[in-house]
Amino acid sequence: MLKYIPLLALALAACGPDAPDRATPEASGVETTGSPLIEVENATQLVDHVIEEGNEVTVLNFWATWCAPCRIEFPDLMAYDAEMEGEGVEVRFVSVDDAEVMDKVRRFLDEQGVTERSYVSPDNTTLAGEFNPRFAASLPYTLVMDSEGIVRGAHMGVISPERITELVAGVRDGTIDITTQL
C-alpha cells in the first residue's frame, strides 16, 4: 500500500488548483464566442436542467481548467458527443472553476468547439459530491443519467471512449447498476 503513495501524490498534484496550466486558452489567441453557460448552485438545479433538455441519456462531465486530466479527456468526450448526434445522447460539461476565472472557462470551451449548453458551478468543487459524497473533490468525474435525471453510471478519473460507450449502452438497455460501480 505504501508504494502507491507517491503515485497518489502525483495524481493529486496534477489536478490541484496550483497545478501548472500547460495549455491555457489565453495563449491560443482564441476569441470567445460566448458558449452557452448556465450557472447552477446545486445538484437539484443541474438535474432539473438535464431533464428539461429531454435527452434519452446525458453524460455529465465535471471538470476545471486547472485540472490536467480533465483537459486530456476533453477531446474524447467531444468526439463522442459528435458521434452520438441525433441519437438521443448528449454530453454536457460542468465546470467547477472559481468565479474569478469564468473567462478562462469560456475560452477553453470555445477552443474545444463546445457549442451546446454547458454548466458552471463557481466555487463549488463539491457539486459532484452532492451526487455521491465519495467524489466530493475528485476531478474529472463523469456521470451518466437517464431521461428522468437518475444517475445510472459513474466514472472517476479520465474516461476512455470505450468506457463512455459501455456506460451509455448500459443505461439504454437497463443493464447498468450504479451500486456496482461505487
Is 112 strand, coil or helix?
A: helix
Give the mean pLDDT of the chain. Answer: 80
Q: Using one digit for the tens of pLDDT, what is the confidence trace for 2-17? A: 343 333 333 434 444 4
Residues 70, 78: Cα–Cα separation, whole Å: 12
Prior bond to 75 cis, omega within 30? no
Given pLDDT bands bounded at 50, 70 and 90, which one contains residue 133?
Answer: confident
Q: What are the strands of the beta sheet with 37-39, ordered from one edge? A: 37-39, 118-120, 89-95, 57-63, 141-146, 151-156
Residues 16, 98: Cα–Cα separation, whole Å: 13
Given pLDDT bands bounded at 50, 70 and 90, which one contains residue 28?
Answer: very low
Torsion sign across C-alpha atoms 81, 82, 88, 93 = positive
Per-residue model confidence (pLDDT) at position 129 = 79
Per-residue model confidence (pLDDT) at position 178 = 74
Give the domains, in start order, of the chain with CATH numbers: 35-180 (3.40.30.10)
Cell 447552477 belongs to residue: 40
